[in-house]
């Protein structure tokens, strides 16, 4: 979640909370950067103190004050949006709009830095219609990380290092996926983070195991998919890991053709854009 606080000088600070390391310790991004030891005032008596800066140019913050911190954060905070979605003037209306639009209908757990945007195309009625047609639909839990927005700067993409993302696959979800595979059905992943979770949990025979883990798998051309047959995903920014993953699945030249067609037909790109089914 994204919030705004004040330094002792009165200067405004934007805080993007990334991950909780304990009840009172959070990892966050700060804009502008703040010196270690600085206390940032929030609201309702809450504050955070900058403990240290990490090597990833992030900050460890210690929370102080009374009240339930997570409840106050969600009360006063704003939905974290991708850098290319601009909100010059934040208001209750824009907060409500983004909270409703930038969220899947099946979201249940806090923890993602962003919405798994491929899932934004699914409505409750669409999911019900799929189930009525006999299409097995399973849910896994995943926390989208900052790596989804990280541009690939390495000259050779194989040298790119992914950020870790947390996921959980229940025993019932794994059972349904494996049964579908056994019956020669197709596994269609909704979103690139789902692909990363499944491909991090599959063995050489294609068997998907249940469990929870952090994955830093980077899927690029040459990768052998074992868990996933097809992918529903949005149109992504070039030189970003989701784009590279799709090129690994369908081939770079085919993906270029798809993008040229999308541009010609004026499809919408990125988080609030249209989707493709990569077979």
Boundary residue ending a domain (22, 57, 76) = 76
Is residue 64 domain-resident? yes
Give the pLDDT confidence score for residue 83 in this predicted structure: 66
Same domain, 130 and 267: yes
Is residue 212 domain-resident? yes
Give the pLDDT confidence score for residue 237 in this predicted structure: 86
Same domain, 230 and 174: yes
Same domain, 133 and 203: yes
Give the pLDDT confidence score for residue 262 in this predicted structure: 94
| Segments of the chain with pLDDT less than 70 | 66-67, 83, 86-99
Same domain, 31 and 164: no
Provide the domain limits for residue 49.
2-76
Q: How many domains does the chain have?
A: 2
Is residue 184 domain-resident? yes
Same domain, 155 and 56: no
Is residue 164 domain-resident? yes
Indicate the pTM of the whole model.
Answer: 0.86
Is residue 97 domain-resident? no
Is residue 88 domain-resident? no
Q: What secondary structure, in 3-state letters, does the chain show?
A: CEEEEECCCCCEEEEEEEEECCCCEEEEEEECCCCCCCEEECCCCCEEEEEEECCCCCEEEEEECCCCHHHHHHHHCECCCCCCCCCCCCCHHHHHHHHHHCCCCCCCCCCCCCCCHHHHHCCHHHHHHHHHCCCCCCCCEEECCHHHHCECCCCCHHHCCCCCEEEEECHHHHHHHHHHHHCCCCCEEECHHHHHHHHCCECCCCCECCEEEEECCCCCCCCCCCCCCEEEEECCCCCEHHHHHHHHHHCHHHHHHHHHHHHHCCCCCCCCCCEEEEC
Give the pLDDT confidence score for residue 76 in this predicted structure: 77
Same domain, 134 and 23: no
Give the pLDDT confidence score for residue 46 in this predicted structure: 85
């Amino acid at each position: 979640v994204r919030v705004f606080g004040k330094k002792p000088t009165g200067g405004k600070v934007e805080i993007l909370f990334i991950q909780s390391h304990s009840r009172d310790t959070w990892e966050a991004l700060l804009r502008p950067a703040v010196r270690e030891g600085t206390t940032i005032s929030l609201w309702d008596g809450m504050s955070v103190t900058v403990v240290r800066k990490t090597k990833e140019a992030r900050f460890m913050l210690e929370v102080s004050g009374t009240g339930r911190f997570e409840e106050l954060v969600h009360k006063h905070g704003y939905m974290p949006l991708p850098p290319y979605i601009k909100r010059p003037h934040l208001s209750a209306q824009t907060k409500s709009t983004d909270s409703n639009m930038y969220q899947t209908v099946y979201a249940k757990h806090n923890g993602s830095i962003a919405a798994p945007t491929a899932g934004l195309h699914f409505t409750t009625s669409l999911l019900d219609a799929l189930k009525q047609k006999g299409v097995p639909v399973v849910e896994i839990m995943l926390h989208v990380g900052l790596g989804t927005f990280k541009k690939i700067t390495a000259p050779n993409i194989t040298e790119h290092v992914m950020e870790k993302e947390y996921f959980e696959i229940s025993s019932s979800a794994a059972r349904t996926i494996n049964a579908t595979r056994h019956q020669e059905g197709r596994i269609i992943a909704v979103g690139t983070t789902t692909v990363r979770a499944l491909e991090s949990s599959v063995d050489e025979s294609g068997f998907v195991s249940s469990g929870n883990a952090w994955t830093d798998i980077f899927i690029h051309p040459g990768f052998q998919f074992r868990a996933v047959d097809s992918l529903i995903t949005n149109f992504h920014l070039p030189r970003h890991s989701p784009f590279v993953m799709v090129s690994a699945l369908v081939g770079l030249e085919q993906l270029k053709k798809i993008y040229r067609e999308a541009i010609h037909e004026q499809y919408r790109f990125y988080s609030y854009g249209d989707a493709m089914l990569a077979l």
